Amino acid sequence: MNKKNPFEGEDLVDESGPDLRRYWQAILSRKWMIAGLTAAITAVAFLVVAGMPSRYQATATLMFELDQGNLVSVEELYDMGTQRREYILTQTELLQSRDLAERVIRKLDLLNHEEFDPTLREASGGLLGWLPFVGNNQSADSVARSRMEQVTSAFLKRLSVSAKRNTHLVDITFTARSPELAADVANAIGAEYIASQSEARAQFTNRASSWLNERLDTLRVKLEQSEAELLAFREQEDLVDMSGVLSLAEQDLNEATTQLQEMRRELRQVGSIHEQVQALEGNELALANLPEVLNNPMIQEIKRNEAQASRNVAELSRRYGPKHPMMIAANNELTMVRDQLRSEVRNLADAIDSRYQTAQARVRAQEQEVARAKENYQQVSRKAVRHGELQQQAQINRQLFNTFLTRVNETREASGFDIAPARLADPAIAPTQPSEPNKRVILSAVLALALMLSVGLAFVLDFLRVGVRNPEDVEVYLHQRLMGLLPDVQKVSGQRLDLRAFFDSDQYTFAESVRTLRTGIVLSHFGVKEGKEAQGQVLAVTSSVPGEGKTTVAENLAFALGQVEKVLLVDADLRKPVVGIDFGVDREKPGLTDMIEGTAPIDDCIHHDEHGGIDVIPAGRLCDDPQKLLVSPRFDEMIKVLARSYDRVIIDTPPVQAVSDALIIARSANSVLFVVKHDDVNKRVVIKGLTRLQQSGAAVAGVVLNHVDTTKSAVYSEEYYGYDYGREPGRKEERQVPSVELAEASESTEEKA
């Protein structure tokens, strides 16, 4: 029977366009903040605008002469390319410089102009201005400079320079309370800029010509020296192909290092046996019980002879006395066998010691070989570094020399040519109407901007929450399928959800969400085969960090699946086991660790839960190194054995970001169910956990969103609300399985058969 995965067509139900209802709910949740912030900004703006005086603006247009016929080297150095748009933007900034502003202020004598005097009095007023002992110690030059800085700052605040798009024109606009002053300043700025640029260009051309000639001679000497040093180094070191020599040295070092690691591994193995033999030296009987000694065929044969001799002595002692010839012969035979055992044990101990000494000698010899290869590689590396430095220095000197040689030639050809960089195309005239402020427009704009800012702030506060909040986050950020979601159940703070909440009629919403998750799990693996076993038969449940509810999801999913399948719940969180405690299994009872170590049979480790109808394997006794047990081949074999006996094996694993146990367990599972706590854990942490699972080769079935707020007052409640559909008030829910799930589970069972 070939069933199509119902989740393959998820894109068919994807809604296009933004979810306006969600934005509206975000606004409503912060409506008082939006209203208050908008009102406060508007009120402040009203007070500011009411006190603003009327001002006039005058504009003069400056045109740059960019199409100059013979501008080459020095001009290109000076203006960084007059044909480029960046040149006009640069000159626009120069028009707003403090130096040019001070020249205009001196030319128009603005220090003594009536419009700037009130500004100076306000700037120097206040408490400090009225104190008689402040400023008396300043010199006349300091006072004049301070006054110029204050006027210049006020001057630049009123000045505006803007370039006209796709033209060589720049508008110079000045704002003042006097219309005549606004026009005079705008025209003066253009005239002073033209004069200053002509002076600066003439000075720069003279300095550049002299400097280029001096620098060219210096660069010629450096170039000759660097090329000579490079050639001498190649001849001295007899270098032809530097990369090939370095590759051979690196290969030699890698091979020697690999051999040294193998020898050290062998030395550790032999050293462990040697330490045990040395600790029991002189005690042949204790040495004979070591695994390495017991596995010797000769020792095994002597042990059997000793046992036979001991039985003979015991049987004869019942019939004869100690001095009877047969008793004496039997005792002598037993003594001889034991002497032979001691002698053979000593021989084995000597052989182990000899093997250990040999391994040590091999490691020392290989360490010397690695040191030799490392020294050779370092020497070759130093040569390569030095060769690269000399070669790079020669190339840099050659490029610099060529560049300066070109500049010198171009400067020589361009000498004597000069033209004004700009001209005043449209002088400013005194305006007749004030330009600002338009109080009505300003207040309307402030109101609109304040409202937009408040709404934008509400959106930012709503969307900058770093947790996973909805199915879109799962699909867009995590790139995973949402298998289901579990609502947040009211419980006492600090306590976990009751184990039997799935069967509690008061927790109908929670139970229904678990059934929905069960449907997703069953349908996502329905009809898919892998060998003789269906995919999804072994399901690992994990999360990014502790506290996301992975154990709760595993337990309740086991209850739900237990209604349609034969389910086994395994607690593989060997560091902080919880499943056994939840199901009331005695801590002394055997569990997973005992099953892996082989200290208890599988049947003794499985505990049946009558109420839930599932089997449970607790973690068992605590161990010092859980990963050592999980990486052992026996763990994988046990999981395969259990999978053949159950329709579904659910494994509760530790969090991925806490320890790497889940990555090891995932290799033995058909798929992994990833639990994410709603709006709690940072998306980046969840993505890192999923990435680690995928890099380890685990098949992630999907994500379960846990602790979701499903109340109608929640911002995203419409995505989760509806689990109470069809429920009659006060009705006790029975443990029933939806008919569609029973039918599909029946078909799945037929396919397995």
CA dihedral sign, ordered 572, 574, 578, 582: positive
All CATH 3.40.50.300 domain ranges in the chain, comma separated: 477-752
pLDDT confidence band for 77 (50 / 70 / 90): very low
Task: Note the pLDDT tens digit of each residue in 321-334.
Answer: 778 888 888 788 87
Whether omega for the bond prior to residue 437 falls within 30 degrees of 0, making it cis, is yes
pLDDT confidence band for 137 (50 / 70 / 90): low
**pLDDT the model gives residue 703:** 92
Q: Which residues pair with 95 in a beta bridge?
A: none
pLDDT confidence band for 335 (50 / 70 / 90): confident
**pLDDT the model gives residue 528:** 44
Burial of 516 (0-12, 13-18, 19+ CB in 10 A): middle
Structure tokens at 565: 């399948």
What mean pLDDT is predicted for residues 409-424? 70
Measured CA to CA, the distance from residue 47 to residue 40 in angstroms comes to 11
**pLDDT the model gives residue 292:** 67
Task: Note the pLDDT tens digit of each residue in 29-39.
Answer: 778 888 999 99
Measured CA to CA, the distance from residue 35 to residue 137 in angstroms comes to 53
Query: Residue 69: pLDDT above 50?
Result: no
Query: Residue 10: pLDDT above 80?
Result: no
Q: Which residues pair with 64 in a beta bridge?
A: 422
Measured CA to CA, the distance from residue 524 to residue 519 in angstroms comes to 8
Query: Residue 735: pLDDT above 50?
Result: no
> Cβ distance 699 to 671 under 8 Å?
yes
> Cβ distance 103 to 196 under 8 Å?
yes
DSSP letters for 625-664 = -HHHHHTSHHHHHHHHHHHHH-SEEEEE---TTT-SHHHH
> Cβ distance 267 to 364 under 8 Å?
no
Return the exposure string of 620-640: e unless at least 16 CB atoms fall within 10 Å of the residue's CB, then b: bbebeebeebbeeeebbebbe
CA separation, residue 325 to residues 331, 337, 344 (Å): 10, 18, 29
What mean pLDDT is predicted for residues 272-284? 70
What mean pLDDT is predicted for residues 517-533? 64
All CATH 1.10.287 domain ranges in the chain, comma separated: 242-414
What mean pLDDT is predicted for residues 123-128? 42
Measured CA to CA, the distance from residue 126 to residue 170 in angstroms comes to 39
Better-scored residue on pLDDT, 6 or 550: 550
**pLDDT the model gives residue 84:** 62
What mean pLDDT is predicted for residues 554-579? 91
Residues near 253 by beta carbon (within 8 Å), at least 6 away in sequence: 370, 373, 374, 376, 377
DSSP letters for 379-432 = HHHHHHHHHHHHHHHHHHHHHHHHHHHHHHHHHHHHTT----SEEEEE-----S
Query: Residue 473: pLDDT above 60?
Result: yes
> DSSP secondary-structure letter at 3?
P
CA separation, residue 198 to residues 63, 204, 207, 422, 671 (Å): 15, 10, 15, 9, 77
Least confident of 159-173, 424-438, 465-479, 531-545: 531-545
Query: Angle 665-667-670 (CA atoms, 0-180°, nearest 5)?
Result: 100
Structure tokens at 90: 């640069």
**pLDDT the model gives residue 489:** 81
Measured CA to CA, the distance from residue 540 to residue 649 in angstroms comes to 8
**pLDDT the model gives residue 416:** 57
Task: Note the pLDDT tens digit of each residue in 176-235.
Answer: 888 888 899 989 998 888 888 877 777 777 777 778 777 878 888 888 888 788 778 777
CA within 13 Å, CB half, 46: 8
SS3 label, residue 724:
coil
**pLDDT the model gives residue 130:** 42
CA separation, residue 451 to residues 31, 264, 388, 458 (Å): 11, 72, 61, 11
Task: Note the pLDDT tens digit of each residue in 649-663.
Answer: 999 999 998 888 889
Q: Locate all alpha helices (DSSP H) within 415-494, ordered by sequence.
A: 439-463, 471-476
**pLDDT the model gives residue 541:** 94
Measured CA to CA, the distance from residue 475 to residue 472 in angstroms comes to 5
Better-scored residue on pLDDT, 292 or 671: 671
Q: 176: closest CA among 92, 123, 105? A: 105
Q: Which residues pair with 41 in a beta bridge?
A: none
CA separation, residue 752 to residues 527, 537, 696 (Å): 9, 11, 28
Burial of 450 (0-12, 13-18, 19+ CB in 10 A): buried
Return the exposure string of 680-696: e unless at least 16 CB atoms fall within 10 Å of the residue's CB, then b: bbebebbbebbebbeee
Query: Residue 315: pLDDT above 80?
Result: yes
First to last CA, the chain: 12
Output phi, psi for 162, to 5 deg.
-140, 140
**pLDDT the model gives residue 449:** 93
Query: Residue 131: pLDDT above 80?
Result: no
> DSSP secondary-structure letter at 339?
H
> Cβ distance 226 to 397 under 8 Å?
yes
Query: Residue 310: pLDDT above 50?
Result: yes
Give the type of residue at 555.
E
What mean pLDDT is predicted for residues 293-308? 74
DSSP letters for 249-305 = HHHHHHHHHHHHHHHHHHHHHHHHHHHHHHHTTT-HHHHHTSHHHHT-HHHHHHHHH
pLDDT confidence band for 384 (50 / 70 / 90): confident
What mean pLDDT is predicted for residues 273-296? 68
Better-scored residue on pLDDT, 230 or 621: 621
CATH topology of domain 242-414: Helix Hairpins (1.10.287)
**pLDDT the model gives residue 614:** 93
Query: Residue 570: pLDDT above 90?
Result: yes
pLDDT confidence band for 9 (50 / 70 / 90): very low
**pLDDT the model gives residue 492:** 59
What mean pLDDT is predicted for residues 455-465? 79
Return the exposure string of 417-442: e unless at least 16 CB atoms fall within 10 Å of the residue's CB, then b: eeeebbebeeebeebeeeeebeeeeb
Give the type of residue at 402.
N
Structure tokens at 150: 């204050």
pLDDT confidence band for 138 (50 / 70 / 90): low
> DSSP secondary-structure letter at 727?
P
What mean pLDDT is predicted for residues 270-290? 69
Measured CA to CA, the distance from residue 524 to residue 526 in angstroms comes to 6
Return the exposure string of 221-232: e unless at least 16 CB atoms fall within 10 Å of the residue's CB, then b: ebbeebbeebee
Q: 189: closest CA among 56, 95, 89? A: 95
Percent over 90 (pLDDT), the chain: 10
Structure tokens at 184: 């005079």
**pLDDT the model gives residue 336:** 86
Query: Residue 79: pLDDT above 80?
Result: no
At the second CATH level, the architecture of 477-752 is 3-Layer(aba) Sandwich (3.40)
**pLDDT the model gives residue 173:** 92
Q: Mean pLDDT, the chain, as a whole number? A: 78
